[in-house]
Amino acid sequence: MVLRWHTVTHSDSAAAGPLAHAPVAGDAQEAVDAPSGAGPTATATHPSTGTVDAPEGDRLALDLLLATARFSRTLGRVPGVQYSTVAWRVLAELSAAPARISVLAQQQRVAQPTMTELVQRLEGEGWLVRGADPDDGRATLVSVTPAGRGALADYRRTAAAAVDPHLAQLSAGDRATLARAVELIRHLTDGVGNPSG
């Protein structure tokens, strides 16, 4: 299977919408590498060390955010992966449930025309299909196809295979620490995604 690269440029985002200036290529979390704008809680990254100045209580959260964002971006660039991480996130979202293009654009923080173009490309691969929304005949829902689920699984296997040799170099204790970290990150993700509990 050939996994083609979908390049999303800032000129795409300039087309329209309140999301026009959001990061649209690679991992949308790239924005966390930049200093925040202003205000008493603004942070800054030291160019020499890459560390972030932050109140003590925020430091762990910032380190976690930066590390996971960098890890995700790095895996999106491994050989054999030729679509952006935005595309894989869209496939993952649609594997859970169909959605409208407008919802996908909001989730990925890109302009709607940019998301429309990406959906069209993934349709061309046979990975997505559009159909009528049963709740609103004027709207369209995007769904993932079995081929799309297979492509997502292939991407995940390719990315995981790039990590495996490096995991093998770690001690049993470090691997156990990472396994526990995965559990904690899942727990944190659930909490952040559902703050009401």
Residue 138 pLDDT greater than 50, yes or no: yes
Q: In the chain, what percentage of residues exceed pLDDT 70?
A: 70
pTM of the model: 0.66
Q: How far apart are CA 48 and CA 25, in angstroms?
A: 26
pLDDT digits (tens, 9 = 90+) for 82-98: 788 899 999 999 999 99
* Domains along the chain with CATH numbers: 10-33+54-193 (1.10.10.10)
pLDDT band at 167 (very low <50, low <70, confident <90, very high): very high
- With CA atoms as reference, report the closest residue to 110 among 11, 4, 36, 192: 11
Residue 108 pLDDT greater than 90, yes or no: yes
Instruction: Output the pLDDT for position 45.
Output: 55
pLDDT digits (tens, 9 = 90+) for 35-49: 333 344 444 555 544
Residue 31 near residue 14 (C-beta atoms within 8 A):
no
- Mean pLDDT over 164-174 rounds to 97
